[in-house]
Amino acid sequence: MDLKQSINQLNVPQHVAIIMDGNGRWAKQQGEDRIFGHHEGVNSVREIVEACGEIGVKYLTLYAFSTENWNRPKDEVDALMELLVSTISMETPNLNSKGVKLDVIGDIQSLPLSCQKELQESIDITKHNNTVTLILALSYSSKWEIIEAVKKIAAAVKDNKLNISDINSNLISQHLNTNRFPDPELMIRTSGEHRISNFLLWQLAYAEFYFTNVLWPDFRKEEFYKAILSYQNRERRFGQTSEQINQLQ
């Protein structure tokens, strides 16, 4: 069945966030080392970005490297950083030709300089594109991001640039790394893990969650369309009753 045809174009999430998990287990199943899985995962990234363009998802945030991932063996961290540089450098022309704009969230200054440079180049090259915004979460954790926001807000209060009474939901959102994007309506996690692993804690407050056992290197367009269809079958009530929601339609 062609799942793409079943998608309701009027109810496509604007922003999808994905915890790309399971590369290591996928590689192990093939008798390969973990890095092989990360390489294969890049092919899934390419397909999912393309799928977003095809169905009209405007923002795609991919959790590519968490603050906690720095604690992995050095060989794996080094290989991931190298993969990041080579992938960005190789994929930028392809992203650009498809109208994809690259953006990043996270503690970018903690990345090796070669990564920072490659990212900045790609961001500059793709900055006028507007088909899909691809947001890579790199050296990212939600608690880190919230701590940084709290520090900035506290400093503004201390300098009399802000009153405590001005602190509200919008102000906090504006101080997060994600301030230029809408909150995701859908969060997908692959590989059968049912946790959020320090990802977008604030921004996912009312997102729909979709969990699949499929490992990230096997998560291709059809799997993505399944997640979109699952999202479209949900009733988002935002605290109201089902009757209220249906009256509004």
* CA 153 to each of CA 168, 170, 173, 177, 203: distance values in angstroms, whole numbers, following the listed order: 11, 12, 11, 14, 18
Least CB distance to Mg ion at residue 30 (A): 16
> Alpha-carbon distance 205 to 70, whole Å?
26
> Is residue 21 within the footprint of ligand IPE (CB under 6 A)?
yes
Burial class (CB in 10 A: 0-12, 13-18, 19+), 73: exposed
- Alpha-carbon gap, residue 173 to 142, rounded angstroms: 12
Q: Give the binding range for Mg ion (CB under 5 A) out of 19-27, 62-70, 113-121, 178-186.
A: 19-27
Q: How far is the CB of 68 from ligand IPE (least distance, A)?
A: 6
Nearer to ligand IPE, 12 or 177 (CB): 177
Chain positions 200 to 229 lying near ligand IPE, rule: CB under 6 A, are: 216
What is the rounded distance in angstroms from the CA atom of residue 237 to the CA atom of residue 242?
7
Residue nearest to ligand IPE (CB): 24
H or E stretch including 226?
A: helix 221-232
> Judged by CB under 6 A, does residue 110 bind ligand IPE?
no
Q: Could you tell me if 117 and 86 are in contact, meaning their C-beta atoms sit under 8 angstroms apart? A: no
Task: Specify whether 21 is catalytic.
Answer: yes
Which region, judged by CB under 6 A, interacts with ligand IPE, from 65-73, 141-149, 227-235, 241-249?
65-73
Residue of 16, 21, 37, 65 interacting with Mg ion (CB under 5 A): 21
Indicate whether 65 belongs to the interface with Mg ion (CB under 5 A): no
Q: Which residues bind Mg ion (CB under 5 A)?
A: 21
